[in-house]
Amino acid sequence: MASGENIKTYFNGSWHDGDKFILRAADHGAWLGSSVFDGARFFEGVTPDLLLHCERVNNSARAMMLDPVVSPEEMVGIIKEGLGSFDKSSSVYIRPMYWALDGSESLVLPKENSTAFSICLEQIPMAAATASATLSRTKFRRPVLEDNVVNAKAGCLYPNNARMLAEARSKGFTNALVADAAGNVAETATANIFMVKDGEVFTPIPNGTFLAGITRARHIQNLREYGKKVSETVLTFRDFEEADEVFMTGNMTKIMPVTAFEDKNYQVGSIAKLARELYWDWSRSQTL
């Protein structure tokens, strides 16, 4: 079932109206989970960092042992063509996807040169500027490369994220603050995480257990260019309990202030507001 509305699907070389069926029962991606995707955004007539998202989906495909069949530049052109059917006031989630059609002799291993490709454009509103989130702990952790494909934005990783969300929401929170294998903070169930202490911005250093997001990197660059000190470092749960403000970043919402972590409450702080302003100003300077 789709999450948004006014869906356009690119498959087998052409655009189709609606949520077109693209997977077959015997596709490797359907029964063995060899799917990867990426997410970009179209809003206010711009597509921030679209090429980087298209490059990343190809990198994710390679990590999943799939052969990318569309270059990032070609992908951007296809997406721009599809976005032409949307009003510039629309907010659209852009999702390019790959999956394996066939398995090798062992069945489990994807067969070489057997990759399917699709793009889904789905009209989903941006989060309101006043939106916020609350976080709880979770018993589930981020995996490591030795036991999962954490170097890909892979569909098979998301059931673990769903368990985190379900646990958090059962306790009355909207998201979960998640540990890595060593017990340090990695990210939330759905987004990267930042905290502020005494005016300095901190975010977990990429350690191979989570994707250091494209939107995360853009916020770091914007804040540093503005003159704010941003440190990528090892962070504990206590660091977040003692933080002055906390916010999440990701493609779907771009930035989301956090107003509570367990019993700790935060105000929506000046750094989160600044990061949002800087991101929107930068995005509006880009062209479709």
What rounded mean pLDDT belongs to the chain? 96
Cα(179)–Cα(52) distance, integer angstroms: 27
- pLDDT value at position 137? 98
Query: For 181-216, how does the pLDDT look when each residue is reduced to its tens digit (9 = 90+)?
Result: 999 999 999 999 999 999 999 999 999 999 999 999
- pLDDT value at position 268? 96
Mean pLDDT confidence for 149-162: 96
Among the listed ranges 128-137, 179-188, 278-287, which one has the minimum average pLDDT value? 278-287
pLDDT at 1 over 60: no
- pLDDT value at position 77? 98
Query: For 4-40, how does the pLDDT look when each residue is reduced to its tens digit (9 = 90+)?
Result: 789 999 999 999 999 999 999 999 999 999 999 999 9
pLDDT at 55 over 60: yes
Mean pLDDT confidence for 83-112: 93
Question: CATH class for domain 133-284?
Answer: alpha beta
The percentage of residues in the chain with a pLDDT greater than 90, rounded to a whole number, is 94
CATH of segment(s) 5-123: 3.30.470.10
C-alpha distances out from residue 247 to 131, 172, 225, 258, 268, Å: 11, 18, 19, 5, 8
- pLDDT value at position 2? 58
Cα(68)–Cα(273) distance, integer angstroms: 38
Mean pLDDT confidence for 44-68: 97
Long-range contact set of residues 13-17: C-beta below 8 Å, sequence gap at least 24: 15/81, 15/82, 15/85
Query: Domain coordinates of the chain in residue numbers?
Result: 5-123, 133-284
Cα(268)–Cα(256) distance, integer angstroms: 9
Residue with tokens 């019993």: 263
Q: Whole-prediction pTM value?
A: 0.94
The string of DSSP letters for 205-226 reads: PP-SSS---HHHHHHHHHHHHH
pLDDT band (50, 70, 90) for residue 286: confident
Q: Are strands 133-136 and 175-179 parallel, antiparallel or unpaired?
A: parallel
pLDDT at 66 over 60: yes
Q: Helix, strand, coil % (nearest 5) of the chain? A: 30, 30, 45
